[in-house]
Chain A
């Protein structure tokens, strides 16, 4: 799916993550992560973000993530919201398990 607009979701509050997505035509996925728990969970955070992007069929995007120790569900939800807005997709939040 194509990135139609650059977006930013989330906050820099403790236990939250801020995700920015912008277009990156034909250049693949570029994910930059800054995290207070990078040593322990950096790989896991990148894996979660990648998984969500792939589930939206996003193949080209620049993603900047500033993590303040968010739990995995929050990372997932923030990334989903960012993908929806960036691709202008309506998401069935209640239907997702």
Chain B
């Protein structure tokens, strides 16, 4: 069958029944109450703190075939996943479903090795960047395809029961012996623990892992003792340098600066850019630069944004400190400044990732967002976006909240250079469709700005840009320019084997990734 973005999909992939993406639609309400595996139970005082990981894993009753989860807020500095998987392997437990919020590129030990030795045989995450991702698209032997879900879809999958978690391992940079914990303080602070709130309230067993036990009660209480079965102290939960270095410096790449400036100009030209506006920019090089230009526009206009959303960076915190944005809703903290900012300021708030992006909540913060700035690997003439796979089909990145932000924001802006090296990033048809073109309003490149005539706010944006004297070009012009520089690339060849299922924020299948054919 063919879904609403023209992707050919089978009706079933193993036991997975494919619900094809059917187009932008209102959230379909479920009949059943939300699923949770949490049981009313009592852990005797003094019995929560376990001597080591193995003792906690055994106390949880982890068995072959169960599902384990983690958050990725320690990013590439994570030392928890490796320690837990090693302990599980040494206990001889096999065939687990590995369901972190995302897999970042962690080595020593490598996740691929835990697949090869049979500890893990299924994977679900928002992205599987790095060595694992490359192995998966090359046909790594898993018992079912990897399911990739954007940030908003993961909590939904947990609440519908599609992803049911036996044991959640939650890394925290400070915890007391009862499991009240946070990522905001301690030597390995990672900031918001927003990704793991859903795991804490939904998993059958919750283990908090820290290298920093503090006297009871640990404050702030990001995750409450109410949900925590066991606490384990390990020597090291992460590498602070890789968790989040200091503030990212402004890029010196003139192309990126040009794109960032144009993006901020597009935002400032909009009638929605007024006192109380809201935005999400993100953490890529173009995003960081764009935040700086947006701060200038905001200051010049003499206005204040009501909130910035999602992943926080030092320069968004700086905007807040200058009074240019009233509130920061942090589902993730991208650097050390953002990680530590929440503890001192009631207007910098740690929020649940589900509150941020899950469209099946009574409402989510994205529903009110005016401007969303997105990165992409590829965009095609239908404005469909690929944020997963590179030009050779290799796994480059994760879905993150991209599909959620594009859909939620009044004006979603994709920032992308038209070529990277010899690879065009404006193409006829994206290799993997992650975000439907109907949710993308504007594309900003070094070769021009294109508006999507099929976007719901097209007329408004067009009028505002004309008013401000900002010129636009058809997206076909960007494609032509890119191809005139690079030539037309030969399409990536694949086998019939499906390695990944890409879900959209509404839980339908927007695309699949097939195994790359190698010579």
Contact = CB atoms under 8 A, between A and B. Distances in A.
A36 B487 contact: no
A39 B422 contact: no
Which of A14, A39, A44, A68: most chain B Cβ within 10 A? A39
Given A15-B422, A39-B392, A71-B485, 12 more contacts: A14-B421, A15-B421, A37-B423, A39-B391, A39-B492, A40-B422, A40-B489, A40-B492, A41-B490, A44-B487, A69-B423, A71-B486
Contacts of B485: 71
Contacts of B422: 15, 37, 40-41, 69-71
B492 A37 contact: no
Interface string B482-512: 0001110110100000000000000000000
Contacts of A37: 391, 421-423, 489
Interface string B405-421: 00000000000000001
A15 B423 CA distance: 10
A89 B231 CA distance: 76
A36 B394 CA distance: 12
B489 A41 contact: yes
Interface string A31-69: 000001101110110000000000000000000000011
Nearest to B486: A71
Contacts of B392: 39-40
Interface string A10-37: 0000110000000000000000000011
A93 B341 CA distance: 59
Interface of B: 391-392, 421-423, 485-487, 489-490, 492
B421 A40 contact: no
Which of A15, A37, A68, A72: most chain B Cβ within 10 A? A37
24 contacts: A14-B421, A15-B422, A36-B421, A37-B391, A37-B421, A37-B422, A37-B423, A37-B489, A39-B490, A39-B492, A40-B422, A40-B423, A40-B489, A41-B422, A41-B486, A41-B487, A41-B489, A41-B490, A43-B490, A68-B421, A69-B421, A69-B422, A69-B423, A70-B422
A77 to B, nearest CB: 15
A41 B487 CA distance: 8
Interface of A: 14-15, 36-37, 39-41, 43-44, 68-72
A8 to B, nearest CB: 21
Contacts of A44: 487
Contacts of B421: 14-15, 36-37, 68-69
Contacts of B490: 39-41, 43
A41 B391 CA distance: 11
A69 to B, nearest CB: 3
A41 B488 CA distance: 8
Nearest to B493: A39
Instruction: Identify the 3 closest CB pairs spanning chains A and B, nearest first.
Output: A69-B421, A40-B489, A69-B422
A39 B487 CA distance: 13
A15 B422 CA distance: 7
Nearest to A48: B487
A40 B431 CA distance: 13
Nearest to A38: B392
A46 B486 CA distance: 15
Contacts of B391: 37, 39-40
A65 B224 CA distance: 60
Nearest to A39: B392
A44 B490 CA distance: 10
Contacts of A70: 422
A39 B393 CA distance: 10
Contacts of A68: 421
Nearest to B492: A39
Contact of B487 (A14, A15, A72): A72
A69 B421 CA distance: 5
Nearest to A35: B422
B149 to A, nearest CB: 28
B488 to A, nearest CB: 9
Which of B422, B487, B489, B490: most chain A Cβ within 10 A? B422
A75 B492 CA distance: 23
A41 B485 CA distance: 13
B479 to A, nearest CB: 15
